Amino acid sequence: MSTVVAVDGPSGSGKSSVSRQVARRLGLAYLDTGAMYRAATWWCLDQGVPLTDHRAVADAVRDLPLAMGLDPEGPTVVVDGRDVGVAIRTTEISSHVSAVATNLDARTELGRRQRAVIDAERDGGWSDGRGVVAEGRDITTVVAPDADVRVLLTASQDARLARRARELHGTDDAAAISATHDQVVRRDADDSTVVQFHVAADGVVTVDSSELDLEQTVDAVLRVVEQSVGRPA
């Protein structure tokens, strides 16, 4: 039976790490849609496309030569034959990605590609038809509202800032949190102008990871999967 698990949430909620582990545990493909927006941002900058030019960005995204590797053990992001998995995680990309994420035409194109990946994994693809865990901002509401399992993974702002600071700086002291604040709070504020990912839509289960570690959060999401589709973790 094919299973599609959709996971949305704000920055620092742990959705990427959790979704990868859920996919690994269930033997499903893993689609990081946030990486697609980052790859699109990298491509625009690499091609010299002004991010303030709405039409030029949308055109560049439509032409984006992107290949997403869906193995949760080692997902890859390749643009025009180049592995950009490290490049798209830089501060430069983080500071510019909302310009692409809030471009409605670019969102439409990337959403179309995301649905194509999900449909392919239902029918075969990397997972041989077992399904996919897709995570992002609008997967539960726009990209895959018909997913078998829909989860909003959230956490308090303090918890999210601390997690992102540890991820980027190796510590969650005051200086690291201050340096991380813009990436988490400002980006969420920008993205929330075009998509709602702070409050669960009807039929979406909220998992609050504020007081949970990674394994506890993975287990919580797996329980939602089991309750929704009866699939054992």
Distances (CA, A) of 109 to 49, 112, 117, 233: 17, 5, 13, 33
Q: How far apart are CA 137 and CA 7, in angstroms?
A: 8
Q: Where are the alpha helices (DSSP H) in 63-126?
A: 91-101, 104-123
Q: Annotated binding residue at 9? A: yes
Q: Annotated binding residue at 13? A: yes
Q: Annotated binding residue at 14? A: yes
Q: Name the token pair of 60.
A: 């560049």
Q: Annotated binding residue at 10? A: yes
Q: Annotated binding residue at 15? A: yes
Asked whether the beta carbons of 52 and 32 are under 8 A apart, the reply is: no
Q: Annotated binding residue at 178? A: no
Q: How many CA atoms lie within 13 A of 216 on its CB side?
A: 7
Sheet containing strand 205-208, edge to edge, reads 29-32, 131-136, 3-8, 149-154, 205-208
Of the candidates 106, 104, 75, 109, the one whose C-alpha atom is nearest the C-alpha of residue 89 is 75
Q: Annotated binding residue at 16? A: yes
Enumerate the known binding-site residues: 9-17
Enumerate the known binding-site residues for ATP: 9-17
